[in-house]
Chains A and B, each alone.
Chain A
Amino acid sequence: MKNKKNLWGLCVMPLYFFTLLFILGPMIYMVTVSFAKNNGGAYGFTWNFTLNNYTKIGDPIYLQCFIQSFKLAFATTILVVLIGYPFGYFMAKLSPKGKKIMMFLIMVPFWTSSLIRLYGWIIILQVKGVLNTALKTIGLIDKPLKILYSYPAVLIGMIYALLPFMILAVYSSVEKMDWSLVEASRDLGASPAAAFVTVTLKLTLPGLLTGVILTFVPSMGLFFIADILGGNKIVLVGSLIQDQLTRGSNWPFAAALAVILTILTSLMIYLYRRITHVKDLEGIF
């Protein structure tokens, strides 16, 4: 039996090589580059060890960037939880046919490039856009709202992009709920609210926490949403890295920023898991 297992193990070896080569490899390269010396020219750097790239991040301009990114990621995650949990919960309680329709509606946007969908939001949010026209027609506002190219627009875009992951994560764990447990809790004296908090929420927490990670981690890096819907007002770490790679032509600094971002995000997840004590996160980790 043992030998047979090993044989099957060999079959997946190519996958390990692939992972090493294309995931771990670039990471090592990135870390290495982050300690290299930038020499100005187009994408040029020399292999001279330096910590300058890291000390540069301490500059208030760049620190501000990190703070803004974290703030946005937190705000996005909280709002996605508040919208996504009830959505996923009630979706799991629909009839089988209702579930299918909902699932379809959630998947449809993924058939279009996310970039194109963001331009859709510009059409909706701009001064003479769909939203303002609609609100004006029903008489809720006199002057058009200036949502586009502001913080709320970025937040809307982030929520829009990440909400499906939360919904699906919550849905899958609510779907697995044994509702007789809720009946048991009511039977033992729990009000509907108490039954929800002590049983339903506790048992669907893995799904919710998975959704939080699936929302928080990408929201740290989704720079193009801030670029497109936020104009140039909101500069996130993601945008900064992209900027340093292209226009700024400073690869070592971009690499250092990326390393710090990765470390901070990992730290967040680590702390998060320490606080929540959830071992089994619906499929991930």
Chain B
Amino acid sequence: MMEQKKPVVLELKNITKNFGDTKVLRGIDLTVHEGEFVTLLGSSGCGKTTTLRIIAGLEYPNDGEVLLEGKPVKDLAPEKRNVNTVFQNYALFPHMNVYNNIAYGLKLKKVSKSETKERVTKMLSLVQLEGFEKRMPSEMSGGQRQRVAIARALINNPKVLLLDEPLGALDLQLRRQMQYELKKLQKKLGITFIYITHDQEEAINMSDVIVVMRDGKFEQAGSPTEIYDHPKTSYVASFVGSANILRGTVTSIKENTAILSGSCGTMACKTEQYEIKEGSSYTLAVRSENISVWREAKAEQYITGTITEKSFVGGMLRIVVTLEDRSEVVITRQGINFFYDIGEKVCLEWAAQDAVFVDMEGKQDEK
């Protein structure tokens, strides 16, 4: 994790949660600093929503502790925690107009009418919904409702704002725009955001810290750069930015560069902080954009395969090369020009610093 000067605002300590026989969370530790934008990233069912609900107080953990500004809050009811949530379906009160929805928290606190009005007006301008006071939630679009949900949560000045896939129901274009606006809002207000998504792009675009979750555990936590460039596990590498996962046995190590031999050729990889042993087998990850393709090998280490697929996706050319052991390697290129055809045999190479060793945890322990 990055070094932070700001104080810790939220801590989760060894949280476990079972629903019947299903272990949803298997011991989670998290430290969040003030003003951070933390994203819990993972596929559905990994326990990210449960984690959020435990922080909000809507779910009670089987074990572990939740600390908010240093105070244990596990036994505090949700209304007693200085935390607010933007729900996945927004959960706007259908029987109240926008004004009353946003003012709800203030009314409960018996804030005076004039102050309520002032703060609601401020919130509405913050989320760019001036003039919408009288509208009912049913008369609004998804994007507008979501802004109301954010305003309704933010008006209470929470220490931490929890957002459960708030952009999930919006179309792609609106989602991109809202990503930008949310991030801007968070920076402006300086409030800690804990954000849930299964979309790696969203996570990379918005977060200070990404926590990749899998099967009720944290797989890796770090800045977007760390997660992207130095994935610790093959799951993180393939989930964030879909890297290629390859296996091989180390044959030699020279100047921090390990040479591995796999079933389809030889591969180079920087050893970095790991202690790599000759003769052992390892897993490494290589990003699709870092692989170069040649008819004749240019480097000393390369693997060979046959091009089996070429498609143009999201402004990128996506090429699939099938290796002799039937595994597939995905390569991406900018633009549409690519000089090789389907069925051609090619050599794939990358610079040693573009590959990283993954799944090292168990291996390091062995030493």
Which A residues have a C-beta under 8 Å from some C-beta of B?
Answer: 178, 180-181, 183-192, 194, 198-199, 202-203
B153 touches A188 (CB 8 A): yes
13 contacts between A and B (CB under 8 A): A178-B89, A180-B87, A180-B89, A184-B87, A185-B104, A186-B57, A188-B84, A188-B105, A188-B152, A188-B156, A189-B156, A191-B77, A192-B77
A203 touches B95 (CB 8 A): yes
A189 touches B58 (CB 8 A): no
Q: Does B120 contact A (CB under 8 A)?
A: no
Q: A-facing mask of B60-101, CB < 8 A → 1, else 0?
A: 000000000000000001110001110101011111000000
The distance in angstroms between the C-alpha atoms of A21 and B94, with both chains bound, is 42
The distance in angstroms between the C-alpha atoms of A187 and B77, with both chains bound, is 9
Q: Does B109 contact A (CB under 8 A)?
A: yes
Q: Does B56 contact A (CB under 8 A)?
A: yes
Chain B residues with CB under 8 A of A191: 77, 79
Q: When A180-B89, A183-B58, A183-B87 are in contact, do A189 and B105 touch as well, CB less than 8 Å?
A: yes
Please tell me the number of chain B residues within 8 Å of chain A, measured between CB atoms: 23
- In chain B, positions 162-197 with a C-beta closer than 8 Å to chain A are none
The distance in angstroms between the C-alpha atoms of A180 and B164, with both chains bound, is 12
Q: Which chain B residue lies CB-closest to A194?
A: B108
Give the Cβ gap from B363 to chain A, nearest Cβ, in Å.
44
A-B contact count (CB 8 A): 59
**Other-chain contact of B79, A181, A189, A202, A203 (Cβ < 8 Å):** A189
Give the Cβ gap from B16 to chain A, nearest Cβ, in Å.
22
Most buried by B among A181, A186, A188, A199: A188
Most buried by B among A178, A183, A184, A191: A184
The distance in angstroms between the C-alpha atoms of A194 and B105, with both chains bound, is 11
Q: Which chain B residue lies CB-closest to A182?
A: B91
The distance in angstroms between the C-alpha atoms of A202 and B100, with both chains bound, is 14
Chain A residues with CB under 8 A of B153: 187-188
Most buried by B among A186, A187, A199: A187
B79 touches A190 (CB 8 A): yes
A180 touches B77 (CB 8 A): no
Give the Cβ gap from A178 to chain B, nearest Cβ, in Å.
7
**Other-chain contact of A190, B85, B94, B108 (Cβ < 8 Å):** B108
Q: Which chain B residue lies CB-closest to A205?
A: B95
Q: A-facing mask of B25-58, CB < 8 A → 1, else 0?
A: 0000000000000000000000000000000111
The distance in angstroms between the C-alpha atoms of A188 and B153, with both chains bound, is 7
The distance in angstroms between the C-alpha atoms of A45 and B95, with both chains bound, is 55
| A-B residue pairs, 10 tightest by C-beta | A184-B91, A188-B105, A186-B78, A180-B91, A189-B108, A189-B79, A187-B85, A189-B105, A187-B78, A202-B95
**Other-chain contact of A187, B58, B93, B94, B95 (Cβ < 8 Å):** B58
Q: Which chain A residue lies CB-closest to B59?
A: A183
Chain A residues with CB under 8 A of B58: 183, 186-187
B79 touches A186 (CB 8 A): yes
A interface majority secondary structure: helix
**Other-chain contact of B91, A178, A198, A203 (Cβ < 8 Å):** A178
A184 touches B77 (CB 8 A): no
A188 touches B104 (CB 8 A): yes
Chain B residues with CB under 8 A of A194: 108
Most buried by A among B92, B93, B156: B93
Q: When A190-B79, A194-B108 are in contact, do A185 and B93 touch as well, CB less than 8 Å?
A: yes
Most buried by A among B91, B95, B104: B91
A203 touches B108 (CB 8 A): no
The distance in angstroms between the C-alpha atoms of A190 and B156, with both chains bound, is 12
Q: Which chain A residue lies CB-closest to B53?
A: A183
12 new A-B contacts, CB < 8 A, other than A188-B105, A189-B79, A202-B95, are A180-B91, A181-B91, A183-B87, A184-B92, A186-B57, A186-B78, A187-B56, A187-B153, A188-B156, A189-B156, A190-B79, A194-B108
Q: Which chain B residue lies CB-closest to A199?
A: B93
Chain A residues with CB under 8 A of B57: 186-187
Q: Which chain B residue lies CB-closest to A184?
A: B91
Q: Which chain B residue lies CB-closest to A181?
A: B91
Q: Which chain B residue lies CB-closest to A180?
A: B91
Give the Cβ gap from B151 to chain A, nearest Cβ, in Å.
12
Give the Cβ gap from A279 to chain B, nearest Cβ, in Å.
12
The distance in angstroms between the C-alpha atoms of A261 and B85, with both chains bound, is 53
Give the Cβ gap from A148 to chain B, nearest Cβ, in Å.
45
Chain A residues with CB under 8 A of B91: 178, 180-181, 183-184
Q: Which chain B residue lies CB-closest to A192?
A: B77
Give the Cβ gap from B116 to chain A, nearest Cβ, in Å.
13
The distance in angstroms between the C-alpha atoms of A234 and B156, with both chains bound, is 58
Chain A residues with CB under 8 A of B94: 181, 203
Q: When A181-B91, A199-B93, A203-B95 are in contact, do A187 and B84 touch as well, CB less than 8 Å?
A: yes
Chain A residues with CB under 8 A of B156: 188-189
The distance in angstroms between the C-alpha atoms of A256 and B77, with both chains bound, is 60
The distance in angstroms between the C-alpha atoms of A178 and B95, with both chains bound, is 12
Chain B residues with CB under 8 A of A187: 56-58, 78-79, 83-85, 153
Chain A residues with CB under 8 A of B109: 189
The distance in angstroms between the C-alpha atoms of A203 and B83, with both chains bound, is 25
B93 touches A184 (CB 8 A): yes
Give the Cβ gap from B165 to chain A, nearest Cβ, in Å.
13
Give the Cβ gap from A238 to chain B, nearest Cβ, in Å.
37
The distance in angstroms between the C-alpha atoms of A199 and B105, with both chains bound, is 13
Chain B residues with CB under 8 A of A202: 95
Q: Which chain A residue lies CB-closest to B80?
A: A189
Chain A residues with CB under 8 A of B83: 187
The distance in angstroms between the C-alpha atoms of A187 and B85, with both chains bound, is 7
Q: When A187-B56, A188-B105, A188-B156 are in contact, do A181 and B93 touch as well, CB less than 8 Å?
A: yes
Q: A-facing mask of B88-130, CB < 8 A → 1, else 0?
A: 0101111100000000110011000000000000000000000
The distance in angstroms between the C-alpha atoms of A189 and B79, with both chains bound, is 4
Most buried by B among A183, A192, A202: A183
